[in-house]
Amino acid sequence: GESVGLHLPTLSVQEGDNSIINCAYSNSASDYFIWYKQESGKGPQFIIDIRSNMDKRQGQRVTVLLNKTVKHLSLQIAATQPGDSAVYFCAEDDSGGSNYKLTFGKGTLLTVNP
Amino acid sequence: SAVISQKPSRDICQRGTSLTIQCQVDSQVTMMFWYRQQPGQSLTLIATANQGSEATYESGFVIDKFPISRPNLTFSTLTVSNMSPEDSSIYLCSVVRGQGGNEQYFGPGTRLTVT
């Protein structure tokens, strides 16, 4: 599939601040997106997903925004905590739900300073 | 979500040998996948593990190098054959599950080092 990339490879924030992690995708056919959190030594953990018929979806302390016009995806984390420190990946599915294959972005390392 | 386990969690192998990685899921799933994550890199899909038929490989991956078995809906194996140091990676299995039918969950990974 086409590439999925991130604007910022690293992000450092203070505890309590809000974090925004960005992702650009190039395949306009992608209709499903997922954000994953990967802590050191662990597999990716599902955070939140969004379909292309939505532009915003909220979870617990997290919000995903989708801008299909500019092919941009972002993950907002409210009141960032030290436990949020990890690498965050966006992933896209351009199969239309037929084969569930995901293309992953490069990842952003989020560091939360106490 | 899904409870996914992998064995072994890590291994150090000599070049030229083969390693089989197991993936076990706590309930039946239709879609299972195998990914590779090279050091400091993102995830790349190796293949879709199909139950009862041959796996479907992505470009750049071949069955002779990465044979996959899927004997039932809760279990799959990935073999890394004739290993070289370039095969040093984390290998992860994933399954599709969720209310929307698209949510994909990952196992903890198998960290492989080839010397």
* B44 chain-A contacts, CB cut-off 8 A: 104
- The pLDDT value recorded for residue B91 is 98
The pLDDT tens digits for B38-69 are: 988 899 999 999 888 889 999 999 999 999 99
- The pLDDT value recorded for residue A35 is 96
pLDDT at A7 > cutoff 80:
no
- The pLDDT value recorded for residue B51 is 87
Subunit contact A106:B100, Cβ cutoff 8 A = no
- The pLDDT value recorded for residue B100 is 61
Give the minimum alpha-carbon distance from A9 to chain B in angstroms, rounded to a whole number.
Answer: 11
* A52 chain-B contacts, CB cut-off 8 A: none
DSSP code at position A61: S
- The pLDDT value recorded for residue A1 is 36
Bigger pLDDT: A15 vs B52: A15
Q: Compute the mean pLDDT over every residue in chain A, rounded to the nearest whole number.
A: 89
Q: Does the CB of B48 have a partner CB in chain A at under 8 Å?
A: yes
Q: Does the CB of B108 have a partner CB in chain A at under 8 Å?
A: yes
Percent of chain A with pLDDT strictly greater than 90 = 75
Percent of chain B with pLDDT strictly greater than 70 = 96
pLDDT at B89 > cutoff 90:
yes
Among B102, B103, B105, B113, most A C-beta atoms within 10 A, so best to mutate, is: B102
- The pLDDT value recorded for residue B52 is 82
Q: Taking Cα atoms as reference points, which of A87, A88, A73, A85 lies closest to residue A13?
A: A85
- The pLDDT value recorded for residue A3 is 45
- Whole-angstrom CA distances from A13 to A17, A85, A110 are 7, 10, 8
Subunit contact A44:B106, Cβ cutoff 8 A = yes
- The pLDDT value recorded for residue A78 is 97
* A51 chain-B contacts, CB cut-off 8 A: 100
| Lowest-confidence segment of A83-87, B9-13, B97-101 by average pLDDT | B97-101
SS3 string, chain B, reads CCCEEEECCEEEECCCCCEEEEEEECCCCCCEEEEEECCCCCEEEEEEECCCCCCEECCCCCCCCCCEEEEECCEEEEEECCCCHHHCEEEEEEEECCCCCCCEEECCCEEEEEC
pLDDT interval class at B21 (50, 70, 90): very high
Q: Does the CB of B57 have a partner CB in chain A at under 8 Å?
A: no
The pLDDT tens digits for A33-86 are: 999 999 999 999 999 999 999 999 999 999 999 999 999 999 999 999 999 999
- The pLDDT value recorded for residue B13 is 97
